[in-house]
Amino acid sequence: MGRPINKRYFGSGSGDQIKTRFKTGGTEFDGFIVKQKSATRFLCDDGAGTTAVCKLADKAQGALADGEMTITIKDDAGNVKQVTKISGHRVTVDTGEAIRWDFSASTTDGAGEIEEEGTDDFEI
């Protein structure tokens, strides 16, 4: 699995959380990661009782199959990227770029903010 993500970024009740969109039972939900199963599989929760183990997919929101999830990040310039893998302090995005990151603060909506070393900040 590689290095796991720090558990303090999981859950749907307090700040610095990793937001996700996931699909289960034919319905898409906005939610949060609550447990890491591997570098690409996570237990997601919508905060209202819907949970599912989902695989991280490189897809635009709305095109998910059951059991898939997306994590979208946006840099300071507003460029949107899909996260395809998370391991420890490294995020791989759809362009193949590996970003070494550290959660530094939460955004106004309670999601974590990724701070890339030396350049942009990314909102999740």
- Give the confidence band of 1 by pLDDT, cuts at 50, 70, 90: very low
SS3 call for 63: coil
Domain boundaries, the chain: 11-123
Q: How far apart are CA 13 and CA 89, in angstroms?
A: 23
Residue-level length of the chain: 124
Q: How far apart are CA 15 and CA 68, in angstroms?
A: 24
Q: Structure pTM? A: 0.74
Q: What is the pLDDT of residues 51-98, one digit of tens each?
A: 999 998 877 655 899 999 988 777 667 777 788 887 767 778 888 888
Q: How far apart are CA 39 and CA 121, in angstroms?
A: 22
